[in-house]
Amino acid sequence: MRKADVITALIILIIGILVVYDGVRLGVIGWGAAGPMSGLYPFLLGMGLVIGSLVVMGRVFIISRKSMSNEPFIRKGGLRNVLYVAIPAALMVALTEFIGLYIAAGLYLALYMRWIGKHRWITVLAVSILLPLISSFVFDKYFLIPLPNGRLRGLLGF
Amino acid sequence: MESLNNLMMGFGVFFTQYNIFVAVIGIFLGTIVGVLPGLGGANGVAILIPVTFIMPPTSAIILLACIYWGALFGGVITSILFNIPGEPWSVATCFDGYPMAKKGKAPQALTAAFSSHFIGAVFATVALTFLAPLIAEIALRFGPPETFSIMMLTFSAFVALGGKSPIKTLIAIFLGFTMAAVGIDIVSGKLRLTFGTTELMGGFHFIVAVIGLFGIGEILLTVEEGLKMKSLPVRMSLRAMLETWKELPRYWKTLLRGALIGCWMGFKPGGATPASFMSYGFAKQFSKNSEKFGTGIMEGVVAPEVAAHAAGVSAMVPMITLGIPGSPTAAVMLGGLMIWGLQPGPMLFKEHPEFVWGLIASIWASNAIGVIIVLAFVPLFAAILKAPFSVLMPSIVFICAIGAYAVNIRMIDIWYMIIFGFVGYTFKKLDYPIAPMVLALVLGDMAETAMRQALIMGQGSPLIFFRPPFALPIMILAIIIFFWPTISRWKQKTVKKECKI
């Protein structure tokens, strides 16, 4: 838990430094044509992040050495479960760029249900075909929200 | 009296076939969303915002509000039948709701909870009906310094009330504001925080953040725990309902107290959760059979539920009158308002009375409709959770992806959603609160504009934020609330020392 706490605070610190840096680039002190310089606001926010993350790290190292829990950030079996969800989901998004959300989602549903859920093929096929189909009708046709079709549609020419 | 007339007009607006239809759909969807893991109120509302683009604004807000009520109802079902609090403010409901269901009294527990919801909603709506116009009237005199001070008050309430670590709450707020600032500087038109990339020019949309943080993050947490959904049997019968309704008036004191606590706490951001716990605690303290609390008695279900729902409704008051939402879900609705081209805040009452009063009337009507619907269909909603998780989970991810993409029709948003999912997962584990971050992201532009305009008014002097008559007391209150955790800790220490002496 402590390691995760420090790493997260470090990432926030880096973001804070980047924000402060950009604020300084835009100018912090001074008075422009439209009031305060445009870097002031980001600068203040970045400083908040920098100070805050330093305090969090400081607390981990100095004060709460004893009081902090030593339980791991994630249990062993838990990590596997999380990755089982996260990796296929990321794959789905990556695939969406090429073959569109509907087909990618269908594959993702089928993969997860068959691989993790061990469902029968009939259930797998029914859900992974019907759900994207229904949503395409609801969103594309009824609410007129075009969902990502990827480059496949362009290649097939429709 | 004027309020009553306006309310009547609101009912006129609400009672059209289309709006009632929208309300019923909203309650249905909302309850499903509330029952499913990873799809809470804020998230459900966020996913459906793109759908509302083709509706008139009044129907759109009715849909979103009904999803919110439905989600509150759905949270009750999971906490009583599954012992899984869908939302943090349902935690207190599990204390007595689940034991009651275990004793075979699930129908009674559900009826009591839903009815308390309705009572809480009625109380809060009365407050909304009469208080909101007054607050709006005062708020009409607010300038940028006052708006800024109200925001300060909102966020200091978060620091004091929410989360275990005030410094982490502060970081979450700053992160939210920073994300809102990415893109184009609204005053000078310069690019900022984009670091030369075109991807960052569009900034982060709060809907994408909400879907990722609440939706994907919640799913990751759920799968890590490897939750098995196990429902207790439920058979609704009219007799059980009537029995419960006969018993309910006995708890009028608990109901009244809970509703008042809810109205008061819901006003402040993040108030629903402490309100439900406070109401439960008070009920336990003042009840004749306080030792029975936690073993499955109706009073223990009624107390947190009435407060939670009253708080949920009264969170709408600051949203409509000041443009400051009291809960993440209200924040998402507020974002919707802006997308539909309405400026939230006091002018709403003047410029779009039909919208405001239609919404208020819809709260009365839709909560009544909602109680009937959920009571009638509880077994159906419970059955949804019985569907295998390996089917539900990928479907929810898919729906979240649609929602994230549909806001801006941008592919990058789906990636952001996944990233926000991991951020939400990590933050939940490390006690960084997510709600204030979302609120900051929604209010970012408003806060910045208010701050910069105020500084221009004060010619650079920050003293403008403390100008009387309104900004000064609000700022002082904000500062007191901000330091309240420190003050109370210090007080405790001194009291302890005195005791030793």
In a domain, residue B242? The reply is: no
- Residue B473, domain extent: 2-226+261-500
Asked if A130 and B398 count as a contact pair (C-beta separation under 8 A), the reply is no
Residue of A nearest to B387 (CA): A117
Helix-then-strand count for chain A, H and E:
6, 2
Here the ipTM equals: 0.88
Is B243 among the domain residues? Answer: no
Tell me if A4 and B426 make a contact (CB, 8 A cut-off).
yes
Interface test with A, best of B29, B156, B178, B432 (most A CBs within 10 A): B178
Q: Which of B177, B187, B451 sits opposite A34 (nearest CB)?
A: B187
CA distances from A158 to A40, A144, B409 (A): 50, 17, 19
Residue A144 with chain B: CB contacts under 8 Å: 54
Which regions of B146-270 does DSSP assign to beta strands (E)?
A: 183-184, 191-192
Q: Is residue B19 part of a domain?
A: yes
- The pLDDT tens digits for B295-352 are 878 888 888 888 888 888 888 888 888 888 877 888 888 888 888 888 878 888 888 8
Closest residue on chain B to A3 (Cα): B430
Report d(CA A85, CA A128) in Å as an integer.
Answer: 16
Cβ contact A117–B181 (<8 Å): no
Query: Across the 501 residues of chain B, what is the mean pLDDT of every consecutive 10-residue run?
Result: 79 86 91 80 85 86 90 85 76 85 84 88 86 82 84 81 78 92 79 79 85 86 70 71 79 83 77 80 80 81 87 84 80 85 82 86 87 85 78 85 84 90 89 86 84 82 80 84 75 61 48
| CB within 8 Å: B406 and A132 | no
Q: Is B40 a domain residue? A: yes
A144 shares contact with chain B (CB less than 8 Å): yes
In a domain, B489, yes or no: yes
Within 8 A of B388 by CB-CB distance, chain A residues are: 117, 119
- Is the CB of residue A92 less than 8 Å away from at least one CB of chain B? yes
What is the residue-level pLDDT of chain A in tens, covering all 158 positions? 678 888 899 999 999 999 888 888 887 776 766 667 778 888 889 999 999 999 988 888 776 555 555 566 776 667 777 888 888 888 888 888 888 888 888 888 888 888 877 788 888 888 888 888 888 777 777 777 676 766 655 555 44
Locate A89 and state its tokens: 């989901």
Cβ pair B181:A26 closer than 8 A: no
- Most B CBs within 10 Å, among A6, A18, A64, A93, to test the B interface: A93
**Which tokens is B486 given?**
């420190």
Task: Report how many domains make up chain B.
Answer: 1
What does the DSSP 8-state code read for residue A65?
G
- Gap between the Cα atoms of B347 and B349, Å rounded: 5
Distance CA B466, CA B209 (A): 33
Kindly list the residues from chain B whose CB atom is less than 8 angstroms away from the CB atom of residue A15: 175, 178
Domain chopping of chain A, boundaries? 2-65, 76-156
The pTM for the full model equals 0.84
* B235 lies in some domain: no
Provide the number of CB pairs (under 8 Å) joining chain A to chain B: 175
Residue B231 lies in a domain: no
Residue B142 domain-assigned (yes or no): yes
Q: What is the DSSP string of B346-360?
A: THHHHH-HHHHHHHH
